Amino acid sequence: MAVPDEYARLRLLISGRVQGVFFRGSACDVAQSLALTGWARNLFDGRVEIVAEGRRDALKALAAWAQQGPPAARVSQVDEQWSEFRGEFRGFRAG
């Protein structure tokens, strides 16, 4: 079955003070409110990685949120990598 073009996959790598500030939990709440699927996790180098799938407009909203993050975060950079929708996730989780 072909996936409509309005669906995509987005990988975000967020740098700054983004660990220990409820970034993953907040990302999970935002993604769920946008009906996205995927996950968020801390990386060993201090960044947070988010992989999400869903409607492009919802993914763009998540990327815009990630520029700021939760109140205690201090985001310095967000790298976006767009790719084709795969449909491999059920729900969104913070790992």
* Domains of the chain (ranges, CATH numbers): 7-85 (3.30.70.100)
Q: What would the pLDDT profile of 20-45 be if each residue is shown by its tens digit? A: 999 999 999 999 999 999 999 999 99
- 64 CB-side CA count, 13 A: 7
CA atoms of 77 and 89, how far apart (whole Å): 26
Give me the pLDDT at residue 95, please: 86
| Residue 42 bears catalytic tag | yes
| Residue 56 bears catalytic tag | no
- Taking the model in full, what pTM does it have? 0.94
DSSP tag of 87: -
3 pLDDT higher than 90: no
Active-site entry in 11, 41, 42, 93: 42
Q: What would the pLDDT profile of 8-19 be if each residue is shown by its tens digit? A: 999 999 999 999
Question: What percent of the chain has a predicted confidence (pLDDT) above 90?
Answer: 94
